[in-house]
Structure 1
Amino acid sequence: MQLDFVSKSENESFARVVVAAFASQLDPTLDELADIKTAVSEAVTNAIIHGYENTVGIIRISSKLYEDKVVITIQDWGKGIEDIEKARQPLWTSKPELERSGMGFTIMEDFMDELKVDSTPGEGTVVTMVKNINKGTVRQTT
């Protein structure tokens, strides 16, 4: 699944619902779906606020389903991240004047099973997240 949309804040909720609907094919628990939606929200919000700042650009979400996991990639072609390790630190934000919490990457990391961030200043950022579905659980069927 691939979806391109304009980097406007009103599209954040649309993006999270689309990815959750796509992932629902794996029959995740409500908690797993909530985790996916939260992580997607954080990644999309980062692209809008930090990647494109006061400009409008395109955000691309790509998602693939596997037997027991969903892989979600969120890409922007914005300004990129100068120091990824610093940006991944809890409570660090490049936009303190906007009252940002600096917890975006921390939340993504906590809610997903894998998180990879690739970024090139001046070219954009790619965030890849993996959520294992039904990890260690047995579902009853009727």
Structure 2
Amino acid sequence: MYENRMKVEFQSKSQNESFARVAVAAFVSQLDPTIEEITDVKTAVSEAVTNSIIHGYENKDGIVTIEAVIKDNEVTITVSDEGRGIDNIEQAMQPLYTSRPDLERSGMGFTVMETFMDSLEVYSEAGKGTKVVMKKTFKSIC
């Protein structure tokens, strides 16, 4: 069984969203993904990180943590923050729902994550933060 892991933390600044995408893409590249697979992962990570910055920390200073674990040909990516949390996860995961209509957000973040990854789990507690766990299995094996 092949296993590898990485963890990265960065400030909750929108400029770091592209760093997060590239860091996870570089880590996942050891699985020799297709262009489509790597694009799916980057898009899902981008959405999760953006949610942490915009909704979790409401553009205030905080730390976003990404952990990724590869086991054989599956990656589990966890994006977490210690921000405001989600009051109603079920409602937040509905397509087109946004808690920040003032920012003209599309409300499609969780839908995008679900579309591009094989599984999505969201854990959150008001005032304590949110953890998004996404998994994707790759066709190739390292």
Q: TM-score under structure 2 normalisation? A: 0.94
The reply to whether residue 54 of structure 1 matches residue 59 of structure 2 is yes
The reply to whether residue 108 of structure 1 matches residue 113 of structure 2 is yes
8 Å contact 2:63–2:82 — kept in the other structure? yes
The reply to whether residue 119 of structure 1 matches residue 124 of structure 2 is yes
The counterpart of 1:64, out of the listed 64, 69, 76, is 69
CA distance in 2, matches of 1:71, 1:12: 18
Q: Could you tell me which residue of structure 2 aligns to residue 9 of structure 1?
A: 14
Q: Could you tell me which residue of structure 2 aligns to residue 92 of structure 1?
A: 97
Question: How big is the shift at 1:68?
Answer: 1.3
8 Å contact 2:13–2:59 — kept in the other structure? no
Q: Could you tell me which residue of structure 2 aligns to residue 20 of structure 1?
A: 25
CA distance in 2, matches of 1:50, 1:77: 11
CA distance in 2, matches of 1:113, 1:5: 26
CA distance in 1, matches of 2:34, 2:98: 32
- Stretches of structure 1 that go unaligned for 5 or more consecutive residues are none
Cα deviations by residue, 1:71-94 (Å, 9 ceiling, x for unpaired): 000000000000000000000000
8 Å contact 2:92–2:98 — kept in the other structure? yes
- Bigger radius of gyration: 1
CA distance in 2, matches of 1:132, 1:103: 23
Q: TM-score under structure 1 normalisation? A: 0.94
Give the number of aligned pairs: 136
- Stretches of structure 2 that go unaligned for 5 or more consecutive residues are 1-5
CA distance in 2, matches of 1:19, 1:131: 13
Tell me the secondary structure at the aligned position of residue 14 of structure 2. Answer: coil
CA distance in 2, matches of 1:52, 1:110: 25
Q: Which runs of 4+ in 1 moved over 4 A?
A: none
Aligned-residue CA RMSD (Å): 1.1
